[in-house]
């Protein structure tokens, strides 16, 4: 009696009930052979019922996914647990859509599995959204990586430029000139510098002129900025 449900024909009453369901529904026997698909499946695939019976329904699946489905069914032989698989099914326009294909065992009154009933849900939109999100994350990570690399490059350049400036300064200026530059940057007048260093005003003026010439700076404000930039004096000094 149980096998009558999956005989050569499904009863008209069962066909009518399944055709009312807007979701794609299929029935198979214990070996995975298709016994019936409802109107929603036929309208989606553009196929005839006789084309889907037996193993015919697998021809609408993408070849890669059809092979996976067969492999999974073989491995689950005798296992009557529910099962789901995302697969591509060819629509009537020839395009493949991603579907979540699920099955559950159909049990007889005696508690025996007599076949399977399953349904297919189109999940293409969700998969496309997830793929777009994944691509956006990858692009975001790439942009962040490029930004970090750019920042590191700039920092390295600035650090190198700063070190080079200090080295250049050390090469061009004598210890006495750096001492005078330090006092100029701190706001000391020429006479104050001369008194502090125990030299003449003329000597201080001569050193200042040499500083400007060697550094290509033409005023005291410029000397002060140079001293701050190269770390000779603190910016708040």
Instruction: Please name the residues in contact with 208: beta carbons below 8 A apart, sequence gap of 6 or more.
Output: 180, 184, 190, 223
Instruction: Please name the residues in contact with 223: beta carbons below 8 A apart, sequence gap of 6 or more.
Output: 181, 184, 185, 208, 211, 212, 215, 217
What are the boundaries of each domain within the chain?
Answer: 2-127, 157-237
Instruction: Please name the residues in contact with 203: beta carbons below 8 A apart, sequence gap of 6 or more.
Output: 194
Helix axis angle, 175-185 to 220-229, nearest 10°: 110
Helix axis angle, 190-197 to 175-185, nearest 10°: 130
pTM, entire model:
0.49
Count Cβ atoms below 10 Å from residue 198 Cβ, excluding itself: 7
CATH class of 157-237: alpha beta
What would the two tokens of residue 11 be?
């009863």
pLDDT tops 70 at residue 151: no
pLDDT tops 50 at residue 4: no
CATH number of 2-127: 3.30.450.20
Q: What is the pLDDT of residues 168-213, one digit of tens each?
A: 444 677 888 888 888 888 888 888 888 888 888 888 888 888 888 8
- What is the DSSP-derived secondary structure letter of residue 54? B
Q: Band of the pLDDT at 97, cuts 50, 70, 90? A: very high
Q: Say what percent of the chain tops pLDDT 90.
A: 13
pLDDT tops 50 at residue 163: no
Are 127 and 87 a contacting pair, CB within 8 Å? no
């Amino acid at each position: 009696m149980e096998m009558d449900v999956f005989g050569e024909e499904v009863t008209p009453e069962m066909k009518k009930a399944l055709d009312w369901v807007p979701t794609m529904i299929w029935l198979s026997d214990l070996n995975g052979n298709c016994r019936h698909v409802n109107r929603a499946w036929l309208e989606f695939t553009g196929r005839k019922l006789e084309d889907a019976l037996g193993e015919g329904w697998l021809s609408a699946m993408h070849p890669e996914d059809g092979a996976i489905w067969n492999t999974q069914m073989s491995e689950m032989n005798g296992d009557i647990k529910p099962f789901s698989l995302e697969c591509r099914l060819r629509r009537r326009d020839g395009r493949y859509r991603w579907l979540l294909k699920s099955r559950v065992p159909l049990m007889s009154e005696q508690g025996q599995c007599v076949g399977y009933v399953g349904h297919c849900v189109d999940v293409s939109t969700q998969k496309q959204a997830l793929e777009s999100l994944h691509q956006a994350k990858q692009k975001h990570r790439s942009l962040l990586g490029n930004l970090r690399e750019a920042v590191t490059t700039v920092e390295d350049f600035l650090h190198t430029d700063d070190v080079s400036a200090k080295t250049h300064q050390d090469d061009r200026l004598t210890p006495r000139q750096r001492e005078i530059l330090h006092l100029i940057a701190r706001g000391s007048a020429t006479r104050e510098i001369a008194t502090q260093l125990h030299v003449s005003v003329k000597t201080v003026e001569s050193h200042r002129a040499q500083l400007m010439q060697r550094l290509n700076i033409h005023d005291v404000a410029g000397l002060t900025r140079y001293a701050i930039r190269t770390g000779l004096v603190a910016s708040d000094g």
